[in-house]
Amino acid sequence: MLCTKLGESEYISAKNMARYKLILEYDGSRYNGWQFQKDARSIQGACMDACRMVFQTERFEFYGAGRTDAGVHALGQVAHLDVAVEMPPMQIRIKLNDQLPADINILHVEKTHARFHARHDAVARSYVYQISRRRNAFGKKYLWWVKDHLDVEAMRKAAAALTGLRDFRSFSHDKDEDNSSLVKIEKLDVLEQGDLILIHIIGSHFLWKMVRRIAGILVETGRGKMTQAQVRSFLEERSDVPAQYTAPPSGLFLERVYYAGEQRVPCRCLFR
């Protein structure tokens, strides 16, 4: 995203631009998602404001690997920054963090090659959805407290039906039939850690609201209100049922973005 529209003579040539890869974490509670919006607070917008202050220019580009929704968090979002300013990566990280609000934090900055693209080069994304089996005084913004008893083994069996290359049109908010709804799910685990149930999903990419609808359907299965056969049927023909059980954004985290050659790592969570 170019931060200002420039005339042809004003564009910075590629050879003068330095490209940096950034890894950042954020609490999405106060933001209307990642994507820049003129009339709403966004993660990308806050990062762009920080870039303007640090580099004292409007001529830069700041792209993210994915667009998290309003209220969704990130443990390892990736972005790339193009700017015609040479600065040590550690200094960029420190200076940007000095300008960013406390709920957005740059974890790592490194200089990268000019062809690296945070979104187009990503080969997989990992999300974690956190469900609490008890009332939690500190985690309301980061958990979904489900009061009913959940059969974790039933959730795991339903999750197994959703792995592989599948048509997830029933789990998407996008009604455009021309857009592909095929997604390859590498892994979909349901894990237990103390009072938490974690849904860990790794896929090639994700459709809008897809992860939250998968989480909602798995919870309904755990409650005993939905069968494995019903879950499989959502992959066979379009259904509006998953939309009715969309899980709240509070429990969802973009955990990691993977690039070629990177090994998959175990699930992380915010609470233990």
Residue 2 is predicted with a pLDDT of 42
Q: What percent of the chain has pLDDT over 90?
A: 82
| Residues designated catalytic | 69
| Average pLDDT estimate for 132-137 | 92
Q: Is residue 29 scored above 70 in pLDDT?
A: yes
Please determine, looking at this structure, whether the domain spanning 8-112 carries the CATH number 3.20.20.70.
no
Residue 177 is predicted with a pLDDT of 54
Amino acid letter, 148 = D
List pLDDT tens digits, range 215-238: 999 999 999 999 999 999 999 999
What CATH number has the domain spanning 123-259? 3.30.70.660
- Cβ atoms within 10 Å, residue 174: 13
> pLDDT category, 17, cuts 50, 70, 90?
confident
Q: What percent of the chain has pLDDT over 70?
A: 91
Q: What is the separation, in whole angstroms, between the first and last Cα of the chain? A: 37
List pLDDT tens digits, range 81-112: 999 988 999 999 999 999 999 999 999 999 99
How many whole angstroms separate alpha carbon 107 and alpha carbon 77? Answer: 10
Q: Which of 9-13, 22-26, 57-61, 135-139 shows the highest mean pLDDT?
A: 22-26
Within 8 A by CB and 6+ apart from 240, the residues are 170
Q: Is residue 257 scored above 90 in pLDDT?
A: yes
Q: Is residue 16 scored above 80 in pLDDT?
A: no
Task: Enter the tokens of residue 164.
Answer: 């592989």
**pLDDT averaged over every residue in the chain:** 91
- Asked if the domains 8-112 and 123-259 are classified in one and the same CATH topology, the answer is yes
- Cβ atoms within 10 Å, residue 110: 13
How many whole angstroms separate alpha carbon 55 and alpha carbon 83? Answer: 8
pTM reported for the whole predicted model: 0.90
For strands 104-112 and 196-203, give the pairing: unpaired
Q: What is the DSSP string of 210-244?
A: HHHHHHHHHHHHHHTSS-HHHHHHHHHS--SHHHH
Domain ranges of the chain: 8-112, 123-259
How many whole angstroms separate alpha carbon 89 and alpha carbon 112? Answer: 10
Q: Is residue 271 scored above 80 in pLDDT?
A: no
